[in-house]
Amino acid sequence: MISFLLDVQDLADTRFAISPLREVMGSLRTLRAPALFPLHTEWRRSVLARLDPADARLLAALVGETLALPDFLTPRPTAYAPTIEDQLAVVHATPEEVVRRDLYAAHAPRPLPVELRAPVPELLEELCELLLRYWRLAILPHWARMRLVLEADITHRAGQLATGGARLLFSDLHRNLSWRDGELRVGQMIGRHRIDGAGRGLRLVPSLFAHKPAPPVGADEAPMLAYPSRGAATLWEPAPDPDASALTALLGAPRTTVLRLLAEPLSTVELARRLGVTPSAVSQHLQVLHATGLVSRARDGRHVLYRRSALGDQLAAGA
């Protein structure tokens, strides 16, 4: 069991954060142990099909036999949502002795994989470049949707903290967690140590690639806990089929009709003729559609021609 000793000041400084690098590293566990992450099966297959074999070998070497990750590759976020570049800059600045310590700790009691035995400066350079490449290939294409799920989890947890305090928050994070007398205990862990908050506060990091709570491996690290995010099952749900009535509900029937007619450039008078209404009525709809960026306009002699914009094309096609 690993536990965090949290005093009043630590609880007051408990913060949530979104960590792109934590998702990168957590996803490597998915590549290594797919049975633990059945929700990500199709994503895993797609990534492995595109991943360079040399990159795949080095990435696999970063995950210990027990699925432990080197602490220096999962730095505690100092902001709510740091960029991957910010976090890799922290990794790049890790002292040599810390890099070696964390690599050996993640693989103990087994020897260090041969892929990780290069001199630390060269290894750090290679790892930062590799993890950025992997981020762009495997995570970035899905990051907007991933972040939405993670932020929804944080909103839910923040509500629990506000209404029920730390006890309610920790009791609902995961069944392996328990809170008692100022100590947050993480069960089902190989490690056996306590981490003293010492006024540093606790960082709680939801993860879509965590199957159970994951504290730092080392006892000297600042308190941080990655935990399974709510909503992970919705991440890969297919988008719903377009609803033809949705555009009408959004814009109203007259403006929807005008937008659909503007697949070709038309004047106000021509639109009015086709719709059987007055030009002034059409002009009112065109003003709204133009102001919202759904149609563009250009003068052709004495007439102003209107046509759907790229945004209007997308909206009309979706409906």
How does residue 240 score in pLDDT terms, banded at 50, 70 and 90? low
Q: How many CB atoms lie within 10 A of CB 123?
A: 18
Q: What does the pLDDT average to over 283-302? A: 90
Q: Are 218 and 101 in contact (CB under 8 A)?
A: yes
Q: What pLDDT is attached to residue 189? A: 87
List every span in the chain annotated with CATH 1.10.10.10.
244-318
Provide the terminal-to-terminal Cα distance of the chain, rounded to the nearest Å: 54
Half-sphere exposure at residue 224, Cβ-oriented, CA atoms within 13 angstroms: 21
Q: What is the pLDDT of residue 315?
A: 84
pTM of the model: 0.77
Confidence of residue 243 (pLDDT cuts 50, 70, 90): low
Closest CA to 261 of 242, 301, 289, 241: 289
Pick the CATH number of 244-318 from 1.20.1530.20, 3.40.50.800, 3.30.450.40, 1.10.10.10: 1.10.10.10
Q: Which of 70, 74, 72, 73 is nearest to 108 (CA)?
A: 70
Q: Which two tokens stand for residue 4?
A: 């965090």
Residue 160 has pLDDT above 70, yes or no: yes
Residue 289: other Cβ atoms inside 10 A: 23
In this predicted structure, what is the pLDDT of residue 225?
Answer: 96
Read off the pLDDT band of 242 (50, 70, 90): low
Q: What is the mean pLDDT of residues 30-53?
A: 96
Cα 46 to Cα 38: distance, rounded to the nearest angstrom: 14
Q: How confident is the model at residue 99 (pLDDT cuts 50, 70, 90)?
A: very high
Report the pLDDT value the prediction gives residue 117, as an integer from 0 to 100: 95
**Residue whose tokens read 């790229």:** 310
Residue 62 has pLDDT above 70, yes or no: yes
In whole angstroms, what is the distance from residue 24 CA to residue 62 CA? 11
Q: How many residues does the chain have?
A: 319
Torsions phi, psi for 21 (to 5 deg): -70, -35
Instruction: Give me the mean pLDDT over the 28-54 stretch.
Output: 96
Backbone angles phi, psi at 177, to 5 degrees: -100, 140
